[in-house]
């Protein structure tokens, strides 16, 4: 019976085995398709990888073959890291930063100034600011920025949570009333659009609103700066002496 099973795919052909695989490739479309596809588990991996942002078919193939080439232990570590991150990590119910504990350690830190909230687009922006080690307030992570072309609207951001934190001290970390909101969106078209939206929504809520300074980065040359950076630097100039 097993033998019959193995021969079953040949049913419907003339019953002669193709020689060297050359025959039949043009005459049986189903057979051609089968021989050109990867084995099913590889196809499944490729399908999952191409669902990731920025990963096209070629990148997915490169990643899949890297996984296939290396030890099984490496693949197990990768699979475990993905499973662990989904199981152990969530968003802080106050600031929406990624965290193992809720509220996150930053929101829980009563040594920080919890009346000042710096709004950023993504957790990676918060990490960059924390690494600079200069800011002692707390944060709010929007988890994105306005991008109408990508279908991202205000309702896709954690904007409502921020407004609630500003209006209701109980919703903020430590029950502290927010007095200043600092807008720290990226200097992009989408970031600027998000800044305008937040300025509009926060207006009249009794908080001062500021924006991170932007312009020429320290250690840079003016000749390397783009027109947009120079325009920001001129607009954001700081007075250093009065007459
Ligand atoms: Zn938090």
176 CA from centroid of ligand 1 (Å) = 13
**Residue 214 or residue 57, greater confidence:** 57
Q: Is the dihedral of CA 19, 22, 23, 24 positive or negative?
A: positive
Count structural domains, the chain.
1
pLDDT of residue 100: 94
Mean of per-residue pLDDT scores for the chain? 86
Residues 6+ apart with CB under 8 A from 203: 209
Does 52 have pLDDT greater than 50?
yes
237 CA from centroid of ligand 1 (Å) = 33
Q: Tell me if 175 is assigned to some domain.
A: yes
pLDDT band for position 50 (cuts 50, 70, 90): very high
Q: Tell me if 21 is assigned to some domain.
A: no
pLDDT of residue 127: 94
109 CA from centroid of ligand 1 (Å) = 10
Does 12 have pLDDT greater than 50?
no
Each residue of 118-157: pLDDT tens digit? Answer: 999 999 999 999 998 989 999 999 999 999 988 999 999 9
173 CA from centroid of ligand 1 (Å) = 7
Does 4 have pLDDT greater than 90?
no
95 CA from centroid of ligand 1 (Å) = 4
23 CA from centroid of ligand 1 (Å) = 65
Report every protein residue that has its C-beta within 5 angstroms of ion ligand 1: 92, 94-95, 97, 103-104, 107
CATH number at residue 156: 3.40.1360.10
Q: Tell me if 23 is assigned to some domain.
A: no
The boundaries of the domain holding residue 105 are 98-215+227-233
Averaged pLDDT for residues 104-123: 97
**Residue 69 or residue 35, greater confidence:** 69
Q: Is the dihedral of CA 104, 87, 164, 157 positive or negative?
A: positive
Q: Tell me if 191 is assigned to some domain.
A: yes
Each residue of 163-191: pLDDT tens digit? Answer: 999 999 999 999 999 999 999 999 889 99
Q: Tell me if 174 is assigned to some domain.
A: yes
Gap between the Cα atoms of 98 and 155, Å rounded? 19
Q: Tell me if 22 is assigned to some domain.
A: no
Gap between the Cα atoms of 182 and 117, Å rounded? 6
181 CA from centroid of ligand 1 (Å) = 15
Q: Tell me if 63 is assigned to some domain.
A: no
Does 46 have pLDDT greater than 60?
yes
164 CA from centroid of ligand 1 (Å) = 14
190 CA from centroid of ligand 1 (Å) = 24
């Amino acid at each position: 019976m097993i033998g019959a099973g193995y021969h079953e795919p040949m049913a419907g052909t003339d019953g002669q085995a193709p020689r060297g695989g050359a025959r039949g490739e043009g005459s049986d479309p189903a057979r051609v398709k089968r021989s050109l596809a990867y084995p099913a588990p590889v196809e499944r991996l490729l399908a999952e990888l191409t669902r990731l942002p920025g990963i096209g078919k070629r990148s997915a193939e490169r990643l899949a073959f890297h996984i296939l080439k290396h030890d099984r232990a490496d693949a197990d570590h990768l699979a475990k890291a993905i499973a662990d991150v989904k199981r152990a990590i969530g968003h802080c119910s106050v600031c929406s930063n990624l965290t193992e504990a809720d509220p996150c350690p930053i929101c829980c830190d009563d040594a920080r100034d919890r009346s000042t909230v710096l709004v950023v687009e993504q957790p990676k922006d918060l990490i960059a600011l924390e690494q600079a080690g200069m800011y002692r307030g707390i944060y709010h992570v929007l988890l994105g920025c306005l991008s109408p072309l990508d279908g991202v609207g205000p309702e896709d951001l954690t904007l409502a949570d921020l407004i609630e934190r500003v209006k209701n001290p109980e919703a903020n970390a430590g029950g502290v009333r927010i007095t200043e909101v600092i807008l720290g969106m990226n200097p992009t078209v989408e970031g600027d659009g998000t800044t305008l939206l937040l300025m509009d929504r926060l207006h009249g809520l009794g908080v001062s609103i500021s924006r991170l300074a932007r312009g020429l980065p320290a250690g840079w040359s003016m000749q390397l700066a783009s027109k947009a950076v120079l325009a920001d630097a001129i607009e954001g100039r700081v007075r250093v002496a009065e007459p």
